Structure 1
Amino acid sequence: TDWQNRLKAEGFDVRAAQVSNLSLSEQQAMMITPAPMRDCKIGRVAGYSVIGEVPSGDIVTLLRRKPADVIALALDGPAQETVAIHYDGSVERRRSE
């Protein structure tokens, strides 16, 4: 996909695979993620889930900060915002660039 190609061009090692079963942490991330932000594209990076076509800059920011209380990043497409999803179900919005 275009998103995979953009991530590869920015230095990410992308390994695409279709899966029929999500890991427990991916299931938890999807259950906590607000329904409108759930996406069929889900990735894993350094223990975090990435749901939807999250911009690479937001993924890099997540990796630099390494917040212990964040389970996933998700893209709120209509609002063009990346949302950090915390284990307690709260969300932190950050405008995508």
Structure 2
Amino acid sequence: MQQKTFFTRKTAWALGALAFASAAAVFAWLPGQNGAPQAEHTAAAGGHAAPHQIEVWKDPNCGCCTEWAKRMEGEGFKVVVHNTGNREVREQFGMPQQYASCHTAKVGGYVIEGHTPAADIRRLLAEKPDALGLATPGMPLGSPGMDGDMYQNRKHPYDVLLVAKNGSSSVYQSYR
């Protein structure tokens, strides 16, 4: 009795090529396997699915704003900086002057005023409250960008405020 051959040589080659192409496609999607930096696939901190783009408006000569932007980048955000000042954009975005700081940012449709920690921004993006955004008024020592040796490691207590669309606010997070 003659056995039937299920695979011809041509079929075997085609299946092998398909398996190779499938494996290559899988490896291309893995973080860091296609020559792209890992940050393109997952955020640097916390393994978040994709980095959020945060746009920052600041004075070109402000060192603490530059440090805050670097900190956000280190926390996995894709940062775009506009060295044009922030007063006009703060007004344009509707952030009341009483919450003013040295830089204004926008991420995920929310306005971020001042030296707000990345953890609070991530929480805002996860919770998605019906709000204008967050504000860390002034320039509190110990907040991101206002910390470290340059400031003799001093820390002042401060609050991050959740700013409602009507301009009112409530404490979102306290740092003591």
TM-score of the superposed pair, with normalisation by structure 2: 0.46
Structure 2 unaligned regions, length at least 5: 1-65, 141-155
Q: Distance in 2 between matches of 1:22 and 1:46?
A: 16
How many residue pairs are counted as aligned between the two chains?
A: 91
- 1:22 aligned partner: 89
- Tell me if structure 2 keeps the 8 A contact 1:49–1:71: yes
Q: Distance in 2 between matches of 1:63 and 1:12?
A: 12
- 1:51 aligned partner: 113
- Tell me if structure 2 keeps the 8 A contact 1:55–1:96: no
- 2:164 is aligned, of 69, 86, 89, to 86
Cα distance, 1:96 vs. partner? Answer: 3.7
Q: Distance in 2 between matches of 1:54 and 1:42?
A: 10
- What is the letter of the counterpart of residue 81 of structure 2? A
- Tell me if structure 1 keeps the 8 A contact 2:159–2:174: yes
Identity %: 25
Q: Which has the larger radius of gyration?
A: 2
Greater share of residues in strand: 1
Structure 1 unaligned regions, length at least 5: none
- 1:72 aligned partner: 133
Higher relative contact order (CA 8 A, sep 6+): 1
Q: Distance in 1 between matches of 2:71 and 2:121?
A: 13
TM-score of the superposed pair, with normalisation by structure 1: 0.80
- Distance change >3 Å, CA 80–CA 23, structure 1 → 2: closer
- Tell me if structure 1 keeps the 8 A contact 2:134–2:161: yes
Aligned-CA RMSD value = 2.1
Which secondary structure does the structure 1 equivalent of 2:82 belong to? coil
Cα distance, 1:81 vs. partner? Answer: 1.0
